[in-house]
């Protein structure tokens, strides 16, 4: 596998808090990279990194990843094909991973480590155990429910035997002032000689210590206190302004007529939106929110709404381009 230029780990350590430095960057392995959610997060956190390898098996998400970040270091591969030597040779500083969540989701069969889709994750844990030179940092994301799984127990055992200190969380973007509900399990781990900026706990934390320093900085200061008493920004800050023709994304009248009562309808001033799932657009309920825009409409439901609230309305499917 082709690797990008090497860099000194000592320098990286010295520059632990550095941001956007061209030459001294963390060497990153993005496993299960999907469309690049972890990489967007690293960019938002202003971490200086270089992608040694970003790996996913799925050609569709790989096309989107390359659209978002280009092709350098990005490979379509099965994680099961990596050996310990392959990973050792990468001289990594950070591993991020979002392993398949189907073995743990509430609506799935919960086959956990018995599920075929967990095999590659167990393989990676074995590799981390065997590495002579461990990455400084590991970050894992998965669905709520992972915290009670055998896979999670295997992860914790690997962290402990490999010399990491770690913290587990259940967090949602709303905790950080972002208007989306998406409760997820996170594990962050550091090699034991490095401390966290907080005292770690054996308990799963439901909020980030010092959360205010990680909050989304709303440029318009439109934060509102929502029903959970969290200070959350409105959707307005996240809606793309474009000249794109939104006609293809309109919800057809017959769908509106049938499902309007179960759709989660939000507008640009809303401080929440539902978690988007793979079934978005195919099912009306529980798969993501729809946006009520203030553009004119011909549809029946909209006429009713217009009469009711005295404004012209139209509904668009919210297009989720990035995770």
Ligand X SMILES: C[S@@+](CC[C@H](N)C(=O)[O-])C[C@H]1O[C@@H](n2cnc3c(N)ncnc32)[C@H](O)[C@@H]1O
Q: Is residue 57 at the binding interface for ligand X, with CB under 6 A as the rule?
A: yes
Q: Which of 7, 33, 101, 271 is catalytic?
A: 101
Q: What is the largest CA-CA distance in the chain?
A: 69
Instruction: Measure the CA–CA gap between 238 and 290, rounded to whole angstroms.
Output: 14
Does the annotation count 33 as an active-site position? no
Q: Is residue 280 at the binding interface for ligand X, with CB under 6 A as the rule?
A: no
Instruction: Measure the CA–CA gap between 239 and 236, rounded to whole angstroms.
Output: 5
- Candidates 8-16, 96-104, 170-178, 204-212: pick the segment binding ligand X (CB under 6 A): 96-104
Q: Is residue 172 at the binding interface for ligand X, with CB under 6 A as the rule?
A: no
Residues linked to residue 189 through DSSP beta bridges, in sequence order: 138, 166
Size of site (CB under 6 A) for ligand X: 19
Q: Is residue 100 at the binding interface for ligand X, with CB under 6 A as the rule?
A: yes
List all residues 6 or more positions away from 229 whose beta carbon is below 8 Å from its beta carbon: none
CB of 102 to ligand X, least distance (A): 9
CA atoms lying within 13 Å on the CB side of residue 119: 8
Phi-psi domain of 236 (left: phi exceeds 0; alpha: psi -120 through 50; beta: other): alpha
What value, to the nearest 5°, has the Cα angle with vertex 206 and ends 113 and 41?
75
Please report how the helices 37-44 and 59-69 are oriented relative to each other, as an axis angle in degrees rounded to 10: 20
Instruction: Measure the CA–CA gap between 286 and 275, rounded to whole angstroms.
Output: 8
CB of 290 to ligand X, least distance (A): 22
CB of 185 to ligand X, least distance (A): 12
Instruction: Measure the CA–CA gap between 61 and 71, rounded to whole angstroms.
Output: 13
Closer residue to ligand X, CB minimum distance, 38 or 299: 38
Closer residue to ligand X, CB minimum distance, 141 or 251: 141
Q: Is residue 51 at the binding interface for ligand X, with CB under 6 A as the rule?
A: no
Q: Is residue 104 at the binding interface for ligand X, with CB under 6 A as the rule?
A: no
CB of 30 to ligand X, least distance (A): 8
Task: List the interface residues with ligand X, window 9-48 (CB under 6 A).
Answer: 32, 34-38
Q: Is residue 127 at the binding interface for ligand X, with CB under 6 A as the rule?
A: no
Q: Is residue 63 at the binding interface for ligand X, with CB under 6 A as the rule?
A: no
Question: Which of 29, 53, 95, 101 is the binder for ligand X (CB under 6 A)?
Answer: 101
- The three-state secondary structure class of 109 is coil
How many DSSP H helices and E strands does the chain contain? 8, 12
Do residues 293 and 198 lie in contact, with contact meaning Cβ atoms separated by under 8 Å? no
Question: Which of 42, 54, 79, 284 is the binder for ligand X (CB under 6 A)?
Answer: 79
Do residues 262 and 252 lie in contact, with contact meaning Cβ atoms separated by under 8 Å? no
CB of 313 to ligand X, least distance (A): 32
CB of 118 to ligand X, least distance (A): 9
Interface residues with ligand X (CB under 6 A) are 32, 34-38, 55-58, 61, 78-80, 98, 100-101, 120, 323
Residues with a known catalytic role? 101
């Amino acid at each position: 596998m082709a690797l990008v230029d090497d860099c000194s780990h000592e320098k990286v350590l010295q520059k632990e808090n550095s941001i956007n430095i061209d030459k001294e960057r963390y060497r990153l392995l993005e496993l299960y990279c999907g469309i690049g959610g972890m990489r967007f997060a690293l960019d938002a956190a202003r971490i200086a990194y270089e992608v040694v390898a970003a790996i996913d098996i799925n050609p569709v998400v790989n096309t989107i990843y390359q659209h978002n970040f280009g092709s350098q270091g990005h490979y379509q591969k099965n994680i099961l094909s990596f050996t310990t030597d392959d990973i050792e040779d990468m001289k990594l500083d950070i591993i991020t991973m979002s392993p398949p969540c189907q073995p743990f989701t509430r609506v799935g069969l919960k086959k956990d480590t018995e599920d075929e889709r967990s095999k590659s994750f167990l393989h990676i844990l074995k590799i981390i155990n065997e590495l002579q030179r461990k990455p400084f940092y590991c970050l894992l994301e998965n669905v709520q429910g992972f915290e009670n799984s055998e896979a999670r127990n295997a992860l914790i055992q690997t962290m402990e035997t490999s010399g990491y200190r770690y913290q587990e969380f259940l967090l949602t973007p709303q905790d950080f002032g972002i208007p989306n509900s998406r409760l997820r399990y996170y594990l962050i781990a550091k090699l034991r000689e490095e401390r966290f900026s907080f005292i770690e706990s054996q308990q799963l934390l439901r909020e980030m210590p010092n959360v205010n320093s990680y909050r989304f900085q709303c440029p318009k200061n439109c934060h509102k206190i929502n029903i959970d008493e969290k200070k959350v920004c409105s959707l307005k800050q996240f809606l793309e302004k474009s000249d794109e023709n939104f006609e293809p994304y309109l919800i057809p009248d017959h769908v509106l007529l049938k499902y309007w009562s179960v759709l989660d309808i939000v507008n640009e001033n809303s401080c929440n939106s539902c978690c988007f799932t793979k079934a978005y657009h195919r099912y009306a309920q529980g798969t993501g929110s729809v946006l009520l825009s203030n553009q004119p409409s011909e549809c029946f439901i909209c006429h009713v709404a217009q009469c009711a609230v005295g404004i012209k309305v139209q509904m668009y499917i919210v297009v989720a381009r990035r995770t």
